[in-house]
Amino acid sequence: MEHHRFQMAEELTRRVAQGGPARVIQLSLPAGRVLDKHRVDAHLLAFVLRGRVVFEAFEPGGGPLTLGPAEMIAVGPGVPHRVESLEDAVLALVLVPPGVGEK
């Protein structure tokens, strides 16, 4: 068992934990920070722990959503997306490679 703590710091991306093929990453974004359109080659679960962000996935039905604490979004592998922080924000990102757990 491992114990990890999420914390607000200046802009920060850090790996918090890895369990098998899954990775958990903390993303801290100061208010007004934009992560331009990008993609990851993994299933992405983005949990907002603190603050508010606008998350936009560039796929059908993926228009911009404003997310706050205790909200999450799931995006498939390779789907382009963009994030903008409306307030100082902390997110927990869970990345799982394609094929893991799929039947």
Question: What DSSP letter does each residue of 64-94 carry, written as one string?
Answer: -EEE-TT-EEEE-TT--EEEEESSSEEEEEE
Length of the chain: 103
Q: Which two tokens stand for residue 97?
A: 């490679």
pLDDT of residue 22: 85
Task: Tell the residue number behind the tokens 């996935």, with chain if given.
Answer: 57
Which letter does DSSP use for residue 99 in this model? T
Nearest to residue 93, comparing CAs of 57, 61, 63, 49?
A: 49
**103 residues of the chain, pLDDT tens digit each:** 566 666 655 556 666 666 778 888 889 999 999 999 999 999 999 999 999 999 999 988 878 999 999 999 999 999 999 999 999 999 999 999 887 766 5
Specify the pLDDT at position 61. 81
| Burial of 19 per CB tally in 10 Å (0-12, 13-18, 19+) | exposed
Q: Determine phi and psi for 42, rounding to 5 degrees.
A: -155, 160
pLDDT of residue 62: 78
